[in-house]
A and B are shown apart, each in its own frame.
With several copies, the nearest count.
Chain A
Amino acid sequence: MGLSMTEHVLPFPGRPGGVAPEVVSAIEALLFASGEPINSARLAQIIDIPTEQVRIAIALLQDRYSEGRGVVLGRVADGWQLRTAPAFSPLVMALRGAKPKKLPRPQLEVLSSVAWQQPVTRGEVDRVRGVDSGPIIRKLLDRGYLRVSGRRDEPGRPLEYRTTKAFLTVFGLPSLTALPRLDERREVSKSEE
């Protein structure tokens, strides 16, 4: 691809080796939005220009996305792809790792029965779910979505659980009084396309 072109040739698309700036930007947009590698023929077909033009534009983009930049243009699997520069992958991982993870369904189930019935004992959660919920309650305590709020005054004095402020935050609720009621579920979900 040994083209050593600089951007000042851009305004002269008529000149051999020149290419309209919009073509370069179009390819940039396509590579950005795609995520996956795209080959020159496909780019030429979508933008409806000769493949030769795509090659010139790619060379210009390679100058733009090169050494030292956060995003680089690489040749991958017979196509072109914009990728984060390898040097920054630890940072990218730090960003990804900080994302809250999806809660598994059993945890959501336990959370729902505590949320609407609180304070609640483990036995009560077990009865609603029909399975032993002990380990899941422990996970939710670890995650900070549940807390022990006291003991029930009944035989065995079982622990009582309540939801925490972190629970409210993750569901975007200002307070427990904002929990929708069962009748409100019906109100809003009255389905009608």
Chain B
Amino acid sequence: MEAAVSSGSASWTVHTDVFDGPLDLLLYLVKRDGVDVRKLDVRRVTDSYLAYLERMRDLNLSLAGDYLVMAATLVHLKSMELLPRLPTVLEEEEDPRDALARQLQEYERLRQAADFLDEQPRVGRDVYVRDPAVIDGSARIESGLDIFALLDLYANLLSARDAPEPIVSMVGDSGPDFRSCCEWVLRRLGGVGGRGELSQMLQSLHTRAERVVAFVAGLEMIKQHWLSVSQTGHLAAIDLVQLVDEDRIDLNNLTTWVEDGDSTPEDENGPLDD
């Protein structure tokens, strides 16, 4: 965002996204005013800083809290300069102005470091390597794995575990059967070309048993090439697409998993229909 403001004799162009935080702004003001970073002129820089914030406010630009904290610090330092030095201040204690000056110097060095990195010939910007896919993003899958991605996965497992179990459990109920789960998946996809995201589909089921059997049903139908499966990235959503018309799908042909060999017809639109 950029805004040009005219105020009195001075004309300003404010690049609000140029500043990466209060230290960045402060460094800019110190340099603009030609002040030595090591001998910070607190009064001058405080006035400049507050004036700048004022202008930002006039432009209705929202400021992150960090900027206001820095403003408070600066005002505090300025007030210390205006007051006579209190005798209770210990000699050994570092002058807070020096501490701020030191912080600014350190930040300036960080910017030097960032400049150095930015000047290096960078893959994808200045130089190209063969098969660039290996470098960015997927590099970790090849040469090492992302522990935070693994943690996300674990957290998802934990939250899925909270899925409510059915309140009513009938005696002799053998749980969801495979065939009706296949049919449920097909209904959700809704014909050739129909799409669905696997985990979303499974989450709409009420019990874990249903989710598991429906999941396996999906896998089996992928194996039969009735559905296609795609994933845009490592741990990304898994999309199912129905490839074959329902007329050409013969669920009786599925032998996997159907251990007892019979499906219960009255279940076809039964417990899985939400």
A130 near B161 (CB under 8 angstroms)?
Answer: yes
A141 near B148 (CB under 8 angstroms)?
Answer: yes
Residue B154 is within 8 A (CB to CB) of chain A in the complex: yes
B contact residues around A129 at 8 Å (CB): 20-21, 23, 107, 110, 157
User: From DSSP, what is the main secondary structure of chain A's interface residues?
Assistant: helix
Bound Cα distance A116, B116 (Å): 11
B contact residues around A89 at 8 Å (CB): 125-128
- A180 touching B147 in the complex, CB below 8 Å, given contacts A112-B153, A130-B66, A143-B136: yes
A contact residues around B155 at 8 Å (CB): 182, 185
Which of A29, A127, A130, A169 is B211 in contact with, Cβ under 8 Å? A130
Residue B32 is within 8 A (CB to CB) of chain A in the complex: no
B contact residues around A36 at 8 Å (CB): 129, 134-135, 143
- Write the B127-153 contact mask toward A (1 if CB under 8 angstroms, else 0): 111111011110111111111101111
A contact residues around B157 at 8 Å (CB): 109, 112-113, 128-129
A112 near B145 (CB under 8 angstroms)?
Answer: no
Residue A49 is within 8 A (CB to CB) of chain B in the complex: no
- A172 touching B22 in the complex, CB below 8 Å, given contacts A130-B161, A185-B155: no
Nearest CB on B from A81, distance (A): 6
B contact residues around A29 at 8 Å (CB): 128
Which of A128, A171, A185 is B120 in contact with, Cβ under 8 Å? A171
Interface size class of A (residues with CB under 8 A): 35 or more
B123 near A112 (CB under 8 angstroms)?
Answer: no
A138 near B117 (CB under 8 angstroms)?
Answer: no
Residue B212 is within 8 A (CB to CB) of chain A in the complex: yes
Which of A105, A106, A127, A141 is B146 in contact with, Cβ under 8 Å? A141
Instruction: Say which one of A2-10, A12-20, A52-60, A94-102 lies at the interface with B.
Output: A94-102
The tally of CB-CB contacts under 8 A between chains A and B is 212
Residue B64 is within 8 A (CB to CB) of chain A in the complex: yes
A144 near B140 (CB under 8 angstroms)?
Answer: yes
A contact residues around B137 at 8 Å (CB): 142-144
Residue B1 is within 8 A (CB to CB) of chain A in the complex: no
Residue B113 is within 8 A (CB to CB) of chain A in the complex: yes
Residue A24 is within 8 A (CB to CB) of chain B in the complex: no
- A86 touching B113 in the complex, CB below 8 Å, given contacts A185-B151, A185-B155: no
Residue A166 is within 8 A (CB to CB) of chain B in the complex: yes
Nearest CB on A from B194, distance (A): 23
Residue A43 is within 8 A (CB to CB) of chain B in the complex: no
B114 near A101 (CB under 8 angstroms)?
Answer: no
Q: In chain A, residues 156-181, which have Cβ atoms closer than 8 Å to a Cβ of chain B? A: 164-166, 169-173, 179-180
Residue A184 is within 8 A (CB to CB) of chain B in the complex: yes
Task: Given A112-B153, A170-B135, output 9 extra A-B contacts at Cβ < 8 Å.
Answer: A33-B129, A106-B20, A115-B150, A128-B157, A129-B20, A130-B103, A132-B66, A141-B148, A169-B139
**14 A-B interface contacts by CB (under 8 A):** A35-B132, A36-B129, A86-B127, A105-B20, A108-B235, A111-B114, A115-B150, A127-B161, A129-B20, A130-B161, A144-B140, A171-B122, A172-B127, A182-B151
> Which residue numbers of B lie inside 8 Å of A, CB to CB?
20-24, 64, 66, 70, 103, 105-107, 109-114, 116-118, 120-132, 134-137, 139-148, 150-155, 157-158, 160-161, 208, 211-212, 215, 234-235
> Which residue numbers of A lie inside 8 Å of B, CB to CB?
29, 32-36, 81-86, 89, 92, 99-103, 105-106, 108-109, 111-113, 115-116, 127-132, 138, 141-144, 147-148, 164-166, 169-173, 179-180, 182-185, 188-189
